[in-house]
Structure 1
């Protein structure tokens, strides 16, 4: 485990791994990419672009057809360019090609590789990333935008996601934040598993949590989280640690645990979360696609958790459950 108070310089060149596939393959492929050490996953769904064309509401992004596959889904992941990246990519390809053995339809299964400069990435975000209204009392604002709060009660989270993702624009992040507004209360202690850019940890602090532990296995995410925590002036409330899920938390306990990950990772966490969540505490999980909702609920209920609320947007699900009372 490593505790961080100062960020570290990010790698300058990345390898972008992109695969065109099916909606049903998104979760297992994302899981493979995360396990391989990818610094975040981007999902470009043709259905999202089609839905946006029909929408008359203001949008977070400037949607362009060239950014989306003609059909199906494009999943992108980013690996730092180093001496092991070729081996990592080949291992990822092998694991993906084994998925049909588990009845996962890969569709086109078209893979492309490209190099991405850190500066190019930053420029792309500044072009497309705009303020995100999460609720009547919370808005996420990119650090380079000028934004006037709508009212005196609005919590504004400033964010520069860099390569760590977690911009607040994805439905699973918005759902996580909306549930946190309901279940994080003043003086709570919170653990954020897979913090990414630190957005959920920052939200917890702004909602009144007295202590937040932000965990991520990825060094780039740790760097980004530290930078964003300083940007929002919540350093005193948040500690960032680089570790693998909950393995290094030890005897620490929390009133609320949040995990915006993937269903398979949440299922691995469920039996272990008992030792860090206080009796009657709340576990908020997201990043769950619709067809895995019941699998996750069943796993919670086997461990004695009670479902408090589920929320869904665009086939993404977030679930808030309560730990058994002592």
Structure 2
């Protein structure tokens, strides 16, 4: 079988929504080529392994690459992707150059080409994320290993928004907590919560691919007895008393369900929000305060922001 590589030259701000569009249109694996990765200084306490070729990276912006089967529907699929990406401008998302290119790639190349980007990554004091095909030996007795197959959906869980979310979960989660993951994607935040001691995790996503991916990854990490995943629009019709709610999605989406998050948290409960670009930080902060939350922390990594708030 022949495959076509679609490459979208865009901005860091557009990575999450465009990646979601590509997965929804049937892309098998998404690769992010961000020139910041070439110069990033990593904290010594977390070990990130990169095998990168500078020639493959843009001078500005990012490349988002995905793989589509070459068939009679390819042209239609590409047009759908272009239209969906252009529609993001309606949400004031900067698309940068917004250039789309296609190139053909054979199945043998495709099967291994994207795997070179994914290596074991220690993203917090305890948690290391590894792709399923990598052999990895824990370096400490308290290290928590999460296995993910980035070919299924939503990448490897090492994007700054995910790292910030997991670091906050690790800090604020208490043993036997009840956790809600809103917009679960690959399920990595739900899995991290379960492995760090949550008694019960409810994972919601409107996307069927995300629901399937979370279920598969949960079984892979032997957390499926703890994680309950189902298709749902944000927190619509959800009535629980959670200890922690975590959501790694766009700022514009977070502000839509802040009141529902308040209603589903016990007094003293923690609301962890990520996926927020710098330009939208104040929007989310104001929204959280208006709903009655106390802001505990605002953490930043590259151009991304995570906010930890408490129901008082």
C-alpha distance in structure 2 between counterparts of 1:296 and 1:97, whole Å:
19
Question: Residue 89 of structure 1 corresponds to which residue in structure 2?
Answer: 81
C-alpha distance in structure 2 between counterparts of 1:282 and 1:143, whole Å:
31
The more displaced of 116-125 and 278-287 is 116-125
C-alpha distance in structure 2 between counterparts of 1:117 and 1:239, whole Å:
38
Unaligned runs of 5+ in 2: none
1:171-320 equivalences in 2 (<5 Å): 171-248=160-237, 250-320=238-308
C-alpha distance in structure 2 between counterparts of 1:31 and 1:276, whole Å:
26
* Deviation at residue 200 of structure 1 after TM alignment: 0.8
C-alpha distance in structure 2 between counterparts of 1:141 and 1:266, whole Å:
28
C-alpha distance in structure 1 between counterparts of 2:95 and 2:149, whole Å:
33
Secondary structure of 2:129's counterpart equals: strand
Secondary structure of 2:145's counterpart equals: strand
**RMSD (Å), alpha carbons:** 3.4
Is the 1:129–1:142 contact (alpha carbons within 8 Å) kept by the matching residues of 2?
A: yes
Secondary structure of 2:287's counterpart equals: helix
Query: Cα 1:178–1:32, aligned 2, differ >3 Å: closer, same or farther?
Result: closer
Query: Cα 1:35–1:251, aligned 2, differ >3 Å: closer, same or farther?
Result: farther
How many residues of Structure 1 are paired with residues of Structure 2 in the alignment?
304
C-alpha distance in structure 2 between counterparts of 1:199 and 1:121, whole Å:
25
* Deviation at residue 208 of structure 1 after TM alignment: 0.9
2:144 pairs with 137, 140, 155, which one? Answer: 155
TM norm structure 1: 0.79
* Deviation at residue 263 of structure 1 after TM alignment: 1.5
C-alpha distance in structure 2 between counterparts of 1:14 and 1:221, whole Å:
23
Unaligned runs of 5+ in 1: 1-11
1:145 pairs with 126, 134, 138, which one? Answer: 134
Query: Cα 1:211–1:323, aligned 2, differ >3 Å: closer, same or farther?
Result: same
* Deviation at residue 31 of structure 1 after TM alignment: 3.9
TM norm structure 2: 0.82
C-alpha distance in structure 1 between counterparts of 2:226 and 2:103, whole Å:
39
Query: Cα 1:96–1:284, aligned 2, differ >3 Å: closer, same or farther?
Result: closer
C-alpha distance in structure 1 between counterparts of 2:52 and 2:137, whole Å:
25
Query: Cα 1:139–1:89, aligned 2, differ >3 Å: closer, same or farther?
Result: closer
C-alpha distance in structure 1 between counterparts of 2:175 and 2:251, whole Å:
29
Is the 2:211–2:230 contact (alpha carbons within 8 Å) kept by the matching residues of 1?
A: yes
C-alpha distance in structure 1 between counterparts of 2:206 and 2:3, whole Å:
18
